[in-house]
Amino acid sequence: MLADKTTLNDLSIFHHEEELSVFHHLNFTRTLGGKDWLRQMLSRPMGDIRSINGVQTIIKDLLPFLHNWPETITNGTMMVIEKFYETPVADMNVSNKANVFFYKVFYSADFALARFSVQHFVSFVKGMQEIVDLLKDSQSNQLQVWKDRITMLLNKPVLQEMLQHDRSTKLTAAEILKFGAFLRRSFKSEVFELIDIYSRIDAYYSMAVACDKYKLVFPELIDSAEPFIEAKQLFHPLLPTPVSYDVEMSRQTNFLFLTGANMAGKSTYIKAVGVAVYLAHVGMGVPAGNMQLSLFNGLLSNIQVIDNIIKGESYFFNEVQRIRSTIERISDGKKWLIVIDELFKGTNVQDAMKCSTTVIEGLRKMNNALFILSTHLYEIGESLKQYPNIQFRYFETSVADDQLVFSYQLKEGISNDRLGYLILKKEGVVDLLQKLSF
């Protein structure tokens, strides 16, 4: 599924302040390698149901083992292993007690590095063996491939000695040098292959932890010729106390015209739908009670358009360019989800109304795509009611004791709330302006 950089930024899949991103929200990896793989996986929404279901199966297979996951493999362990291979040391291939003693005395720094590193290697191979044991009954073909490969790589006499070592006893100097020599001379490429396998599994482990922690559910993707979304109790995953909504869109009702006051919930709703559809195509669970949807070929947004001073391009010009590029892309007849927040904010109200009406009347004819569009221009809603495929929803707001009350409830119809001045007054801006003097 195609989702460009603008869309990833609009939906906060990734964010320059990482803690504000969906990626950060889902990141429970234990290693930097796992984090890198998780980032790659979230950057590549898939375009076929078989691949998506494959990821879902991996995550489901890992869910029962989250509380038994090996604690012996950490990012520190990975760093020690990498450092061990990067640091030049004297040859550890010694054959008798005298040479072991000689090495300890005359190459004390090298021996200390070997001892520290081998201890971490032992923890690492034991952790990998624990993963093999956990995955023995996995239903995932990919996990079985990794399990078999780990077993093969660990099936070396020296590694079996490491696996038999009792953690409560210290390694002897002879064992340290024997293990260290083997790892440096005969097992380097295999170690990094094991690290790569663990990093990949670590990324899936992170996704499983997120599904468990946030109670995400696995959506059902259907290879339908027509685009559709059916979701119950869908919510935005980044909100601490989210409000959930039901979403139902199809070819017959492919355009959602969304109105409501500032801060009423329009942007959150739009992003919640976009994030859920995106996560579904990654193979992740989604923030909803349940969800069915068609396989989409692409997801595009128009939420945070900016101007370009260097190129001399205005905000409005870039809005127009984004709409134009969107229309060109979705004219391919494939299935798309398009989310637009406050179209044509960069021009005057009369222009915005005319431009918005023109765009909506054109887009709603494209029955290969689903559109969610929010706007303050409620006046144009009346002329659009003639089109049966446009749904009208609004977020309810009220005023009590001169205070704004947001219910965050989605209602059927069009809102004509004008609460901008009340917000300006509530925040004390009106009072500040009245007190100004020359």
Per-residue pLDDT tens for 2-51?
999 999 999 999 988 899 999 999 999 999 999 999 999 999 999 999 99
Residue 349 burial (C-beta neighbours within 10 Å; 0-12, 13-18, 19+): exposed
Cα–chain center distance at 77: 26
Q: Which two tokens stand for residue 336?
A: 């798309």
DSSP class of 364:
T
pLDDT in tens, 219-272: 999 999 999 999 999 999 999 999 999 999 999 999 999 998 777 788 999 999
Report whether 113 contacts 153 (CB < 8 A): no
Residue in this structure with the two tokens 């998780």, named with its chain if needed: 38
Q: Where are the domains of the chain?
A: 31-213, 220-435
DSSP class of 295:
P
pLDDT in tens, 390-426: 999 998 876 666 666 777 888 999 987 666 666 666 6
**Which residue type occupies 81?**
I
**CATH number 3.40.50.2000 is the correct assignment for the domain at 220-435:** no
Provide DSSP, 141-201.
HHHHHHHHHHHHHH-SHHHHHHHH--TTSPPPHHHHHHHHHHHHHHSHHHHHHHHHHHHHH
At residue 321, the 3 state secondary structure works out as: helix
Residue in this structure with the two tokens 């690492």, named with its chain if needed: 124
pTM: 0.91
Report whether 28 contacts 37 (CB < 8 A): no
Residues ≥6 apart with Cβ < 8 Å to 121: 81, 84, 162, 179, 183, 191
